[in-house]
């Protein structure tokens, strides 16, 4: 069954065609196309996503992105059998562009419209390349907006069991990256800088707090770490008599990147260990934009191996926002009987998204 997945929750306009076959032992997926049009160049000028600009850019590019996804899949509009769209959580103006487009598409093709939660879609990306993966499982979603643990039940729904009290890990990477003079978003560039910093011991001299809050709860706080790292950068600049606008020497930037990465990654995997022990799950999913981080991928793999658990991580191109994950999550929702009407709205928060889906399920007796 051909699903058309649409994603526009933040600053990527994305569309994808997924062929899902519903089999006795689960759903099998084939990725036919996956087109992502990123707005990062525009937002880089402002050092972060400007919501008004993001929604306008989605409105401008969504038709072309959708047409390209269809063309790359080698099919025609009449072949599409369901339209899946991210309806929450995210920037409301951005989400509304995708939702409006998806409604028009589903209406004109006379096919089901499937509402998809962006966080569940990130986790769903892991199923695309791992047909052996099936729920229940632990899911750790780490992105620019989220750093949370979820338990995934048999209906693929995610229930939060812990997470950050303030900023997300991606935000910490991006804000520190900006002060280090990296273009927005700095996550990937900081990953490479840190790799060079880890080759030496000096980064250990830059002491930063752990984002993992003490105790057995699955809680993080990234805002203190972010501020501490930025203060360290300012202090080092002062010592070197550099002005605010001047860039630190390359080795110092590498050491700061390594120290920050070490704090973030160690803090996250410490809680991953706690979460696996607490829940007893033997399968874990690591997904979201920050799951592309090479150091996090390696450390999470190590923790899972030590506990005899299996880790499923999407390949890097499927970690950041994309339409393929929406298509896969759409197929999961469709299997569970979830369908939206043409009155589908967009919601900024995860709580509102959950409420809408629960209401939809109870009305349909699911």
Pairwise CA distance, residues 348 & 353, whole Å:
8
Interface segment toward Zn ion; rule CB under 5 A; list 183-191, 218-226, 273-281, 313-321: 313-321
3-state class percentages of the chain: helix first, strand second, coil last, to nearest 5: 50, 20, 30
Closer residue to ligand KG4 in complex, CB, 106/177: 177
Instruction: Look at residue 7 and give the partner it binds from Zn ion, ligand KG4, none, a contact being a CB closer than 5 to 8 Å depending on partner kind.
Output: none
CA torsion 323-328-333-335 (nearest 10°) is 150
Rule CB under 6 A: say whether 173 interacts with ligand KG4: yes
3-state secondary structure of 208: coil
CB of 224 to Zn ion, least distance (A): 24
Q: Site map for Zn ion, 318-337, x if CB under 5 A?
A: ---x----------------
Residues in contact with Zn ion, shown as a per-residue x/- string from 225 to 254 under the rule CB under 5 A: ------------------------------
| Beta strand segments in the chain, E | 2-7, 12-23, 26-38, 82-88, 113-117, 137-142, 147-152, 158-164, 219-220, 283-287, 310-312
Q: How far is the CB of 139 from ligand KG4 (least distance, A)?
A: 14
Q: How many residues bind ligand KG4 (CB under 6 A)?
A: 19
Q: How far is the CB of 192 from ligand KG4 (least distance, A)?
A: 8
Question: Mask of contacts with Zn ion, 141-170, x by CB under 5 A?
Answer: --x---------------------------
**11 lies in the site for Zn ion, by CB under 5 A:** no
Binding string, 280-299, against ligand KG4, x = CB under 6 A?
--------xxx-xx------
Residue 86 found at the interface with Zn ion (CB under 5 A): no
Cβ-contact 260, 194 below 8 angstroms: yes
**Tokens at 155, concatenated:** 């209906």
Q: How many CA atoms lie within 13 A of 190 on its CB side?
A: 32
Each residue of 340-362: b (16+ CB within 10 Å) or e?
beeebebbbebeebbebbeebee
Kindly list the residues in this chain that would bind ligand KG4 in the complex (CB under 6 A). 10, 143-145, 170, 173-174, 185-188, 191, 288-290, 292-293, 320-321
């Amino acid at each position: 069954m051909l699903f058309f997945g649409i994603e526009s929750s933040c600053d990527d306009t994305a569309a994808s065609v997924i062929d899902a076959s519903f089999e006795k032992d689960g759903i099998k997926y084939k990725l036919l196309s996956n087109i992502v049009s990123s707005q990062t160049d525009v937002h880089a000028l402002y050092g972060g996503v400007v919501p008004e600009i993001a929604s306008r850019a989605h409105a401008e590019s969504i038709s072309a992105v959708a047409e390209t996804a269809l063309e790359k899949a080698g099919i025609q509009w009449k072949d599409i059998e369901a339209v899946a769209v991210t309806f929450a959580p995210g920037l409301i103006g951005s989400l509304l562009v995708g939702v409006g487009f998806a409604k028009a598409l589903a209406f004109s093709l006379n096919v089901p419209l499937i509402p998809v939660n962006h966080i569940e879609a990130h986790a769903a990306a892991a199923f695309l390349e791992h047909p052996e993966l099936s729920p229940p499982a632990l899911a750790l979603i780490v992105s620019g907006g989220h750093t949370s643990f979820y338990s995934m039940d048999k209906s693929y729904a995610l229930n939060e069991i812990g997470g950050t009290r303030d900023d997300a890990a991606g935000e910490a990477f991006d804000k520190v990256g900006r002060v280090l003079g990296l273009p927005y978003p700095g996550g990937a560039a900081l990953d490479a800088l840190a790799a060079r910093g880890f080759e030496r011991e000096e980064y250990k001299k830059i002491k930063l707090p752990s984002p993992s809050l003490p105790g057995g709860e699955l809680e993080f706080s990234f805002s203190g770490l972010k501020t501490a790292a930025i203060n360290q950068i300012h202090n080092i600049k002062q010592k070197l008599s550099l002005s605010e606008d001047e860039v630190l020497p390359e080795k110092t930037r590498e050491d700061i990147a390594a120290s920050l990465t070490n704090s973030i990654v160690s803090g996250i995997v410490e809680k991953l260990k706690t979460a696996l022990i607490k829940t007893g799950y033997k399968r874990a999913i690591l997904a979201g934009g920050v799951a592309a981080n090479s150091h996090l991928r390696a450390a999470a793999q190590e923790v899972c191996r030590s506990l005899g658990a299996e880790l499923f991580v999407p390949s890097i191109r499927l970690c950041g926002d994309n339409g393929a994950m929406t298509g896969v999550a759409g197929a999961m929702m469709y299997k569970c009987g979830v369908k939206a009407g043409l009155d589908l709205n967009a919601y900024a928060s995860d709580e509102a998204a959950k409420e809408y889906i629960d209401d939809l399920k109870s009305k349909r007796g699911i």
